[in-house]
Amino acid sequence: MKELKATADNKRQWNENFLKYTEFIVGHANYKGLFFERGADKRVKWVVTGKSDKGIERRNWGTKMF
């Protein structure tokens, strides 16, 4: 895919629209309390394994919200 290009250090280069979308979500009042972290590059770390503690925290947030 053009949107995901491998770099020399094997890190993904996300499409700019996706990066804007993640910032929109974490800043929107409807998603207040949703667990997220930022990486060393200050970008939202969006991918979380569902069965991890962080994934369970997200799932619990969603269950409570909906």
Q: Mind listing the pLDDT tens digit for each residue in 36-54?
A: 999 999 999 888 888 999 9
Residue 7 has pLDDT above 50, yes or no: no
Mean predicted lDDT score pLDDT of the chain? 85
Here the contacts of 46-52 (C-beta below 8 Å, separation 24 or greater) are: 46/22
Closest by CA to 14, choosing from 35, 40, 45, is 45
Count H helices, E strands: the chain? 2, 4
Q: Is the pTM of this model over 0.75?
A: no
What is the C-alpha to C-alpha distance for residues 19 and 44, in angstroms, rounded to an integer? 8
pLDDT at res. 2: 55
When divided into structural domains, the chain yields a total of 1
- pLDDT attached to residue 47: 85
Range of the domain at 48: 5-65
40: which 2 tokens? Answer: 């060393």
Instruction: Answer yes or no: is pLDDT of 3 > 80.
Output: no
